[in-house]
Each structure stands twice: as C-alpha cells, then as structure tokens.
C-alpha cells in the first residue's frame, strides 16, 4: 500500500491545526420534548446548522457501518472504526452471523480447543443477554448452545448479564424466558443458567474504570459467590428488579447465583472446564478476559484460578493477543487515517475521558493498541468518575475542553481529535433532564474549542458516531407516540438510536468556497474520513470512501 498523501487540488495543506470533534451519541432526530439534543439550548451547534453548504447528516447505523441490516443500531466501536478508517468493514455481529451460517465457527481452532471439555467437563457461556446487537445477540447465543449440544457437550452453564441499555428496560424477563426455553430444548444435555447480574454492575467494565465490577462477576460466575441466591433465573430477575412502579434497572441488577435444593451453586467454574465469552464487541470483555487468561494478575484477588479452556467470541485486543484463542477472527482494518498521518509525518493529538478513550485511539486506529509513531502521536486519557453518569452529567467535558485548547494553542499538532462522551453515557441512563444538561454543556464546550481554533487560524470538522440523547423515550412502533407505564410516566429509552448524525466543517483557516457534498444521499461515517484528510490539505487515498467535501 502506497502511504504517500498527495496535495489537494483546491484546499492547500496547512500548518495550522485541524480539529476533529466527535459528539458521542448526538443524533439528528424528531424534535420533540423527549429529544435532549433538541430540548437543550445549543446555540453553537445550531449556528453551524444554519450554513447548509457546510452542514449535513450522514448515516451511522446498519449497513453504513458494516452491521448486518439497517435495523441494527450503530455503536461507538463500529462508528469510530468507520470514522478512523474511511472504510465500511463487516463488523462483529455480521462476522458471527457468517461464521454460524457457514459452519466455520464449529471448524476453527477455538471451537476445537473448547470441545476437549465437552465429554467430561462443563462448558460455561458468559455474556450479555440481549437482542440489541451491540455487544451480543440472543439468537446467536442460542445457535452456539445448540451447536455445542449437537457436537457432544454434556453439561452447559450460562452466566447472564442483563441489559436494559441497548434494549428496553425490563426486557430481561423475556430474554431469560427465551434462554431457558432454548436450554430445555437441548436434547440429552444438563443445561442451566448459573449466575448473573446487570451489565453496569457486574463483569462488563471497560478501560479499567472499575475493576470491582469484574470482581463481582468473577465471584458470581466462577466461585458461585454472590449476595443473592435463587433457584431459578426468572425469580432472580423478577425479585431483584423489585417494585415495578419504580424498579431497579436491568443494567444495575446486583450479582446473583442459582443454587440447587441443597443451596449449592449449580455452575461454578472448575479445572478442565471450557469458558466462552459470547459478546462480540471488544471493550467490555477485555478485563474479564485478563482475569481468565493471565497467570500473573493483580487487579483483584481471584481467590481461586481454575485452569480452563478459555476463548472469546472474538479476539478483543489484537496487540495483546487477548484472548489467545477465539471463535471468530476479528475484522482486519488496514490503511486507517491514523496510519496515513503517521507515515506522512503529521502530528496528532487525541483525547477523551476513560469511557471513550479507546474509541479515539484503539477503535479509530482499526482495533490497534498503541501508537503508529510515538514521536508523532500524543494520547491523553482523562479518568472518568466512577458514578452513574446522570449524577454528574458534566462528566469530564470541561477537562477535555481544556486539554483540547492547550493542544490547539501549542502549535505542536496538525490534527487534534476530541471525543465528548456525555450525550451517549448520560443518554444511556434514561434520565432526560440529565441528558439535556449534558447536551447543553457539550455545546458550550464546543463553542469554547472553536473560539480557540479560530484564534490560531485552524479548520474543523464536527460530527457524531451514532445517536442516543436525541431520543430518550420508548415509542409506539406505528404512531411514534411515547409509551407510558401504568402510572402514566414515559418509559425511558436507554439505547442508541437509528438517527443520522451531523457533519459540519468550518474554521478561520478554511478557504472560502469549500463546502460539503449534497449528492451522496447514502453517505455514512466512513465518508467523513476523507473530509478530515481533505481539511489537512490532501487527497483521499483510493481505498477509502469518497470524501464529503466537494
């Protein structure tokens, strides 16, 4: 691959910074009272929208970002893959679908490895019980369980993490019923749910923000230790959710274990067992993978470290080779914008808080950890607070802004990449008022950044990776009206949306007449990459999607 960037025919290269600003979870959607982006006072982004020659929307979900269908919500991982690579790559869910459809999953090295435990030991499956298609999908899990049973597994245990975030809250009860029916249908197999808990309470931490989550999962899944013990999962979920008038959200359920009539856990992990993580998305499986795979481990006291045949659905970190064995090879993304910038001597600064730091680095760079060229790249992670994000919806936006301003003023960087996590992370809590506050604050921070950028004569591109805060209520599928609970209160929507996302360009250093194309109606996030490269003053590499800039 030829990595030499060619000068743009109209936009001259600049030694001033180009700011790429991602408003994570900020979609363009129906403007009603449940759209936090619409309700919040956002004068900065509203002003950008007024210049129709330099503002438009693009698709951020479904086939536009490599997902199986246009019914699939986008997410931050595939979104940043597309934004960073300029390519539409078959992504996790689609790769798993292909592996199941072709039978390749059951022929690979990962499957061969776990099958050594089928006859004499237990096979454990751990992951998010959901049909949201962001981290996992229940139909895929059912197909894998059936495949294991048909290929000789005698004892299966499933350790579930309830969602309520990528799917409607309360849907855990339906998913548990469907899973239990699927397990009961496995002929000649001792198959049960063994433990569980909510995804924001148990196991699924990311970026090492809260190892206590992983420890709670380890103790429930592996050791059979948890503060709540039940004889079946349906009772566990129903009881732990509590008062249906004001239930505990699925995502925050405490850890629980399933026990037999003698109060013994039905599914502890023992030497010789196989363990499969069935999430295909990487970020929230890295830490539990380390706990299962690493002999040397100090993040928490495991108490007991069984020798298992451990695999992931995919390899969650290619640089760490973690896990070493997996069922489906990850997408290989080469020729990303980050690699091009490094090979052309272009200095880069990337910053976000912990919750999205991996998105502007690892995922942006094609699922690659570390630097392309450490001398040219600076990555700054601002630690996220370890609290529910609606309790402090400002999160670290102000600190990110200050870091971005410092980078813009330093004169060291030609590309400054910023991600504001607030609209997504606060949107996931379902708290409309907090999401409105988050969007208002982010708009203020963007205005501050753009003022600094303009003071040094820079250029900018502002966009988002998917929708979330743009719709905070569950809706009737036919009428689009808000769904209400028995008390007449709106049912919160905590998942991403299918909304398109904004793209705006500008800056004091951008020549007059440079505008966004309006002739690409199906443009997606991958088309943004070329625009970023154009703003630096270069032509788009031929393997990337066409630029949005005319």
Residues annotated within the binding site are: 24, 76, 135, 165-166, 199, 206, 281-284, 356, 424, 428, 465-466, 496
Q: Answer yes or no: 76 catalytic.
A: yes
Binding-site residues for Mn(2+), in ranges, read 24, 76, 424, 428, 465-466, 496
Catalytic residue among 9, 53, 76, 289: 76
Report d(CA 533, CA 80) in Å as an integer.
16
Contact 81, 65 (CB under 8 A): yes
Q: C-alpha angle with apex 251: 289 to 249, nearest 5 degrees? A: 165
User: DSSP state, 363?
Assistant: I
Q: How far is CA 114 from CA 93, 124, 153, 277, 316, in A?
A: 21, 10, 10, 12, 18
8 A C-beta contact, residue 328 and residue 314: yes
Structure tokens at 378: 């600076």
Residue 179 CA to residue 162 CA, distance in Å, equals: 12
Taking residue 57's Cβ as centre, other Cβ atoms within 10 Å add up to 16
Coil/strand/helix, residue 75: coil
Residue 432 CA: distances (Å) to CA of 427, 473, 489: 7, 9, 12
**What are the structure tokens assigned to 92, written together?**
């996790």
Helix, strand, or coil (residue 485):
coil
Q: Which of 477, 497, 393, 501 is nearest to 34 (CA)?
A: 497
CA distance linking residue 392 with residue 371, whole number of Å: 32
Q: Yes or no: say if 125 and 156 are a contact pair by the CB < 8 Å rule.
A: yes
Q: How far apart are CA 516 and CA 504, in angstroms?
A: 8
Q: Pairing mode, if any, of strands 377-382 and 326-328?
A: unpaired
- Sign of the dihedral through C-alpha 243, 247, 250, 255: negative
Q: Please identify which residue in the block is written with the tokens 């601002």.
A: 382
Q: Partners of 484 in the beta sheet?
A: 490
Active site residues: 76
């Amino acid at each position: 691959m030829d990595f030499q960037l060619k000068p743009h025919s109209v936009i001259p290269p600049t030694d001033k910074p180009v700011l790429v600003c991602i408003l994570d979870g900020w979609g363009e959607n129906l403007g009603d009272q449940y759209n936090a982006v619409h309700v919040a006072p956002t004068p900065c982004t509203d002003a950008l929208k007024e210049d129709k020659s330099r503002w438009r929307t693009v698709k951020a979900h479904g086939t536009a970002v490599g997902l199986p269908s246009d019914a699939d919500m986008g997410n931050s991982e595939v979104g940043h893959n597309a934004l960073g690579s300029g390519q539409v790559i078959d992504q996790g869910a689609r790769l798993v679908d292909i592996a199941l459809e072709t039978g390749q999953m059951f022929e690979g090295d990962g499957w061969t490895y776990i099958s050594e435990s089928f006859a004499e030991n237990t096979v454990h499956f751990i992951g998010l019980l959901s049909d949201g298609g962001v981290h996992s999908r229940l139909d895929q899990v059912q197909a894998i369980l059936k495949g294991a049973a048909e290929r000789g597994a005698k004892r299966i245990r499933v350790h579930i993490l309830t969602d309520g975030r990528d799917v409607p809250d309360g849907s855990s009860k339906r998913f548990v019923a469907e899973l239990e029916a699927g397990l009961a249908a496995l002929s000649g197999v001792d198959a049960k749910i063994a433990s569980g808990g909510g995804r924001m309470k148990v196991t699924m931490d990311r970026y090492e923000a809260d190892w206590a989550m992983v420890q709670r999962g380890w103790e429930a899944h592996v050791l059979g230790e948890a503060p709540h013990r039940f004889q079946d999962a349906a009772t566990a979920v129903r009881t732990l959710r509590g008062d249906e008038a004001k239930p505990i959200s699925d995502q925050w359920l405490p850890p629980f274990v399933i026990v037999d009539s003698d109060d013994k856990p039905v599914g502890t992990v023992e030497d010789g067992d196989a363990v499969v993580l069935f999430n295909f998305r990487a970020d929230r499986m890295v830490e539990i993978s380390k706990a299962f795979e690493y002999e040397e481990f100090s993040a928490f006291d495991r108490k007991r470290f069984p020798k298992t045949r451990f695999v992931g659905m995919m390899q969650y970190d290619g640089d760490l080779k973690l896990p070493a064995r997996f069922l489906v090879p990850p997408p290989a993304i080469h020729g990303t914008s980050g690699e091009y910038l490094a090979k052309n001597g272009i200095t880069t600064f990337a910053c976000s808080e912990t919750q999205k730091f991996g998105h502007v680095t690892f995922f942006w760079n094609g699922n690659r950890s570390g630097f392309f060229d450490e001398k040219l790249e600076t990555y700054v992670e601002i630690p996220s607070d370890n609290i529910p994000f609606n309790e402090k919806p400002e999160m670290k936006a102000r600190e990110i802004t200050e870091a971005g301003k410092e980078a813009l003023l330093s004169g060291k960087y030609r590309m400054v990449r910023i991600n504001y996590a607030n609209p997504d992370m606060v949107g996931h809590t379902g708290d409309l008022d907090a999401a409105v506050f988050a969007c208002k604050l982010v708009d203020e921070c963007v205005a501050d950044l753009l003022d600094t950028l303009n003071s040094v004569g820079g250029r900018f591109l502002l966009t988002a990776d998917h929708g979330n805060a743009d719709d905070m209520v569950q809706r009737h599928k036919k009428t689009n009206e808000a769904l209400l609970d028995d008390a007449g209160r709106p049912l919160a929507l905590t998942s991403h949306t299918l909304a398109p996302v904004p793209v705006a360009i500008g800056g004091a250093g951008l020549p007059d007449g440079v505008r966004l194309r309006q002739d690409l109606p199906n443009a997606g996030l991958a088309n943004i990459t070329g625009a970023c490269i154009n703003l630096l003053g270069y032509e788009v590499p031929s393997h990337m999607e066409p630029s949005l800039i005319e």
